[in-house]
Structure 1
Amino acid sequence: MPKKSRERYPQNWSDIALVVKQEVNWRCSKCGLQCIRPGDNTSSLTRSQRMALTLTVHHSNFVPEDNRRDNLCALCTACHLSFHTRRKGNVSPGQLSLF
């Protein structure tokens, strides 16, 4: 039986992802969108706006076990979703969403 998606990530994934996001100053590496940083006041944003401004970390080769820095890139939710809709990746349909 294949591993569940979450089980494919290392226990320190949050730390790895945080470093990648900090290195790009919380900007999407594809479109340049300035995303929400920890501590930003988001009270005036809707849930959809917060989701759209969330920075994620993408595995370029779609293999979540491969956490070499050159395989990781920071993407806003929309850009991350576009990578996964063009190619079946390590997430199931509907796992990434703007809403």
Structure 2
Amino acid sequence: MPKKSRERYPQNCSDIAFVVKQEVNWRCSKCGLQCIRPGNDTSNLSRSERTALTLTVHHYNFVPEDNRRSNLCALCTGCHLSFHTRRKGNVSPGQLSLF
């Protein structure tokens, strides 16, 4: 039986993602959008605005087990979704939602 999508990620994936996001100063590597940093006050933002300004980490080769730094990039939600809608990836666009 194939592994479930979440099981394919390492236990320290949050730590890996945090480092990748810090390295790009919480900006999307594709469009340059300044995204929400930990500790930012987001109380004035709607849920959809917070989602749009959330920085995610994408695996270039769509293999979540491959966490070499050269395979990872930080993308805003919109750019990350565009990568997955143009090519069938390791997670469906609906799974990229944070809520």
Identity among equivalent pairs (%): 89
For 1:41-87, what per-residue CA distance to the aligned partner results, in whole angstroms no more than 9, with x for missing partners? Answer: 00000000000000000000000000000000000000000000000
In 1, the alpha carbon distance for the partners of 2:10 and 2:43 equals 32
Query: Where does 1:25-44 land on structure 2 (aligned, <5 Å)?
Result: 25-44=25-44
Give structure 1 regions of 4+ aligned residues with deviation exceeding 4 angstroms.
Answer: none
**Residue by residue, what CA displacement relative to the aligned partner does 1:8-66 show, whole Å, maximum 9, x if unpaired?**
00000000000000000000000000000000000000000000000000000000000
RMSD of aligned Cα (Å): 1.4
- Aligned match of 2:72: 72
Unaligned 5+ segments in structure 1 are: none
CA, structure 1 residues 72+86, in 2 after alignment: closer, same or farther (shift >3 Å)? Answer: same
Aligned to 1:58: 58
Unaligned runs of 5+ in 2: none
Is 1:2 aligned with 2:2? Answer: yes
- Structure (1 or 2) with the greater helix fraction: 2
Shift of 1:97: 4.6
Provide TM-score, normalisation by structure 1: 0.96
Give the structure 1 partner of residue 96 of structure 2.
Answer: 96
Paired residue type of 2:95? Q
Aligned length: 99
